[in-house]
Structure 1
Amino acid sequence: MRVTLADPSALIPGFERVHLEQSALYPYGPVGWQPVHTVYVPADRFDAGTVRAWGDAALELMRRHLPQRELAAILGVGGDLADAVHGRVAAKLGAEPVEDLRVDFEDGYGQRPAEEDGHTSAAAEAIAAMHAAGTLPRRWGLRVKSFADGDPVRSLRTLDGFLTGVVERVGRLPGGFVVTFPKVLMRAYLHQFADCLRALEDGLGLDEGALRFEIQVEAPQTVLFLDSGLVASLRGRLAAAHFGVFDYTASCALPPHEQRLDHPVCDHARNVMRTVFAGTGVELSDGSLAASPASDDRRAVQELWRRHAELVGHSLGQGFYQGWDMHPSHLVSRYATVYAFHLSRYREYTHRVRAWQERREAGEGVMDEPATIKTMTAALRRADLALGADPAPPA
């Protein structure tokens, strides 16, 4: 064919450099396994049997308060899915009740300067025992105190003692470790913390990049300095961004009864997080419901499950596939809602993707775009992983 421009490449000098920069900022990668939740347990209440105790407690609540015939009404699960979801939840609670564990030394633990060293050593011993027994969750770690509290030395002492204790007892750092860095009010704290992780790697003889962390977005000030360049500047250290609903809503001066995950203020923060971290490989997680059943009465337990299921569904609909669970009862509504979410569209998405691949119409007036097919393919992969494919336990 005839063309007008003799040498188009001469019109775009520096393209290769810009394209390399794009690849570094937004690395393409297939959907990988991500835990559906993070369970936070205060350090003084954590031991090697905690995960199994949570699973047993959740199973007992399910046995007494969630008959299979009532699943649809209580948790909003479609009637045709109720049987499959009920069975999956029970099996999950029996085999792997917790996918991601954090031993909490921050808000859930409080200020205990005389006790924190002891609880740190005990937590490291418990982690080593779980690893030896094969009960360590696929993801695990701790939440340290915030630098914003004015005492970074205490935060780092706990992290150092925990990691040193685990490595000494196990002989190495088991796979799946991540540390949660809360209340980041200044961007500089992130780079300071990353430097500390690098120093710990050197001191413990770990591979470079073995220690990664997740930032908690818990204040409007944090939202203001989030950008894609932040991820690149941390050189692969930033693994995830978790939304902290209660500190965030308090920072926005919302009244207590409006401190909820589905408040528009929280939707805005999550939208910023999703926009900033899109394509960067940084995982996103929503926050929690700060409530447990008011009593062991069936109505109280079921009402909590209804509300938690609403919030989990709200998060999933916004593309946040992970959230925090703070009580054994949350495991039931978490897994039931996640499984129903993925199963409800699985057959439809499979049919539409196959139709596209075979260059035929999907039917029912659907006209799929390539971007939609890409999204549905990712959704199917995410569903397979959440429903039990590729378990990838920590090494």
Structure 2
Amino acid sequence: MSRGRRERVATSLPGAVGAEIGAFLAPVDAELRRRYPGDPGTRQPVHTVYVPADAFAAGTLRSWGDRALAALDEHAPDVASFAAAVGMDPALAEAVYGRVRAKLEREPVEDLRVDFEDGYGDRPDAEEDEAAARAARLIAEAHRDGTAAPYAGIRMKGLEAAVRDRGIRTLDVFLTGLAEAGPLPPGLVLTLPKATCPEQVTAMARLLGAFEAARGLEAGRLGFEIQIETSQAVLAADGTATVARMIRAAGGRATGLHYGTFDYSACLGVSAAYQAGDHPAADHAKAVMQVAAAGTGVRLSDGSTNVLPVGPTARVHAAWRLHHDLTRRALARAYYQGWDVHPGHLPTRYAAVFAFYRESFEQTAARLARYAARTAGDVVDEPATARALAGHLLRGLDCGALDHTEVARATGLTRSGLEGFAFPHRGGPPARAP
């Protein structure tokens, strides 16, 4: 282009055409906003701890933390022994090990699920009623005295015919107990297991709506997770992805999709010796879940391992290595949450999570800083990548893998600045660190 020359700009379309196209697409725009609102921007726990309802007590969370610390003391009392046990680079382990111990002392459990399903089994009605009422009382008391996990709730029995009435009653007893103890606590989570069809999800949404009406709660206050544990939940008889229809059937109440490793594997006929989170059948199911949930604000959780870190040190180390590697594998596949079923899993859960965020911290922070400052680097990043970079740092901050000071120093951004890049649909320019 010659300097100083102004190009003649010409158009051919009548002005009304743009307005007509806008009117035509307006309903589609609204539907896309409704179905794909984006990530809610709240903290996502790195795990869910499952505790059978009959074993849940006021000191459960502290007990899990203490038992996890005792396992470290016995089987990996220093950085070198822990690094060798899980196969972690010693330099990275140096930055992780102390953080793991501090986490176990400060906040050993991020998400607690009192289990009334497989981990509890079939009990007399009076016994399950009592357990549901006790769970409500203990969770309410924990919130009052400041010892509650950031997220907590129950896994009820499902809505399949054989256990439907019991599941509904347990849900009612638990929620009623919480409601009578005061305002429903923040971080309340409810889990619907073994959903096989969208109609069961719709029924769960109606149950929660009925409870809200009965207690005078704001409509939509209660949400729930859907456990994907059957082949029918992934692929329907007509070949469509049932899980995508389940999200829609929840009417905006679905908060998460949780993969059920062993029920799902058994449903497909996978032999017990090969039922694991890295089986090809598991990868397929979780990939379908991931695509179905993308953009909806519904979060994902991986399943668990049934190999417990108990017994002599060699056996504990083998179980730790397995759990660490499965957790690390899931994180790389954007499954940022999983189940833990034993206190001995906590050290390797947090070690894998902290290492995941710390090993990539410098590169991630530098890329985001360059993007924010609009300076060139060796990678050309786009807005979508900036969202991923900022989201990665926020998750690291939320779990304790990263510190606000080091993130602000490396990126030049405050937390609200990170959120501005991670959640641009909220609006507002990203804030710079002072």
TM-score (structure 2 length as normaliser): 0.85
In the alignment, which of 265, 269, 272 is matched to residue 256 of structure 1?
272
| Mapped partners of 2:245, 2:230: distance in 1 | 20
| Mapped partners of 2:214, 2:304: distance in 1 | 35
Name the count of aligned residue pairs: 387
- 2:216 corresponding residue in structure 1: 205
| Mapped partners of 1:371, 1:253: distance in 2 | 39
Question: Aligned runs of 1:1-395 on 2, under 5 Å?
Answer: 1-7=9-15, 8-9=17-18, 10-11=20-21, 13-29=23-39, 31-66=41-76, 67-114=78-125, 115-148=127-160, 150-168=162-180, 170-224=181-235, 225-226=241-242, 228=244, 230-295=246-311, 297-363=312-378, 366-387=379-400
User: Which whole-Å deviations, capped at 9, do the CAs of 1:274-310 have from their partners, x for residues lacking one?
Assistant: 1001000001100001121341x11111111100001
List alignment gaps of at least 5 residues for structure 1: none
The worse-fitting range, judged by mean Cα deviation, of 27-36 and 193-202 is 27-36
| Mapped partners of 1:150, 1:46: distance in 2 | 25
* Identity within the alignment, %: 42
Q: Is the 8 A contact 1:77 1:337 kept in 2?
A: no
Q: Is the 8 A contact 1:209 1:237 kept in 2?
A: yes
Q: Which amino acid aligns with 1:371?
A: A
Q: Is the 8 A contact 2:324 2:349 kept in 1?
A: yes
| Mapped partners of 1:229, 1:187: distance in 2 | 6
Secondary structure, aligned partner of 1:207: coil
Q: Is the 8 A contact 1:31 1:381 kept in 2?
A: no
Q: Which amino acid aligns with 1:112?
A: R
Secondary structure, aligned partner of 1:14: helix
Q: Which has the higher contact order (CA 8 A, sep 6+)?
A: 1
1:95 Cα deviation (Å)? 0.7
1:359 Cα deviation (Å)? 2.9
| Mapped partners of 1:361, 1:72: distance in 2 | 37
| Mapped partners of 2:252, 2:291: distance in 1 | 19
Q: Which amino acid aligns with 1:116?
A: E
| Mapped partners of 2:302, 2:361: distance in 1 | 23
User: Which whole-Å deviations, capped at 9, do the CAs of 1:159-187 have from their partners, x for residues lacking one?
Assistant: 1111112222x222111111100000122
User: Which whole-Å deviations, capped at 9, do the CAs of 1:256-280 have from their partners, x for residues lacking one?
Assistant: 1110000111011111011001000
1:339 Cα deviation (Å)? 0.3
| Mapped partners of 2:10, 2:89: distance in 1 | 59
User: Which whole-Å deviations, capped at 9, do the CAs of 1:39-83 have from their partners, x for residues lacking one?
Assistant: 000001111111110010001111121221123222233322212
Per the alignment, do residues 149 and 37 of structure 1 end up closer, same or farther by CA in structure 2, a change over 3 Å counting? farther
The worse-fitting range, judged by mean Cα deviation, of 120-129 and 297-306 is 120-129
Secondary structure, aligned partner of 1:102: strand
Q: Is the 8 A contact 2:39 2:296 kept in 1?
A: no
Larger Rg: 2
| Mapped partners of 1:356, 1:175: distance in 2 | 35
List alignment gaps of at least 5 residues for structure 2: 1-8, 236-240, 405-414, 416-434
1:369 Cα deviation (Å)? 3.7
Q: CA RMSD in A?
A: 1.9
1:206 Cα deviation (Å)? 2.2
